[in-house]
Amino acid sequence: MDFKVLENLTLWDVVIGIIDLCIVWYVFYLIITVVRGTKAIQLLKGILFILIGKVVSDILNLTTTTSIFNTLLEWGFLVIIILFQPEIRRALEQLGRGSLFRSSNVNKSTERETLVEEMMKSIKYMAKRRIGALIVFEKETGLKDYIETGIPINGKITSELLINIFIPNTPLHDGAMIIQGNEIATAASYLPLSDSPKIQKSLGTRHRAAVGISEITDAFTLVISEETGNVSVTHDGKLYKEVNYEELEVLLNKHWFGYDIVNRGEIDA
């Protein structure tokens, strides 16, 4: 490293360099914000793979492989523009409205409250009418293996849709609904049943499935009993029965969004 270059730096040069880095970081943050949740995120992963591959091929002096990666990078920009016109247009529209530069905390808070409200509304409806339900909330551990056993929904979370899925004698009511983020990923998914002797004999398949998924993943699961209408939850391999609505709302905020509604702050879920 040439330390003479560092010696010639002035305070103004350092400030300008920091500002430059902050601008670049913020631009990348805005790009990720725009493409998050869209198919473009897969493209970014592909670009990252190509860049890593090019660096490795340069280090190993792989002439043919390097040539291929160079071609991909040379034409990649044009391909991105053609394939992702909707995402680019949306980003430019947001930039024109100034929405990219607004704080997203308010929007996230509003969305969280709305989703929890819709979930609580459906739970109260089904519990009152003793409609059995099994809902799994994905956390850090991916549930792809179990999602693939069900029927894809990929739908917006509304109380009407939640209730309709679990109406008895309908094609999707039997099995588990899996929630990924703010969407219903799938319905009628199969979950592993727990063999724990601690589970009461009176509890049915839904409760055993809820405990089973919590034993092998960090998922948070709620169960509505069709016999009693009581609401139970599971996480960390433990079953908590007859949870009241106030407690359930706290648990949903904690395990679904990592938010403590008591202390009004983000927590480690």
User: Any residues with CB less than 8 A from the CB of 251 and at least 6 apart, and which?
Assistant: 220, 233, 243
CA atoms of 168 and 172, how far apart (whole Å): 9
Helix (H) or strand (E) holding 189: strand 183-189
Helix (H) or strand (E) holding 133: strand 133-137
Does the predicted model carry a pTM greater than 0.75? no
Q: 138-187: per-residue pLDDT in tens?
A: 988 888 889 999 999 999 999 999 999 999 988 898 899 999 988 999 99
By residue count, the chain amounts to 269
Arithmetic mean of pLDDT over the chain = 82
List the domains of the chain with CATH numbers. 3-101 (no CATH), 105-266 (3.40.1700.10)
Q: 249-263: per-residue pLDDT in tens?
A: 999 999 998 877 656
pLDDT over 90, % of the chain: 41
Q: Would you say residue 100 has pLDDT above 60?
A: no
How far from each other are the two terminal CA atoms of the chain, in whole angstroms? 44
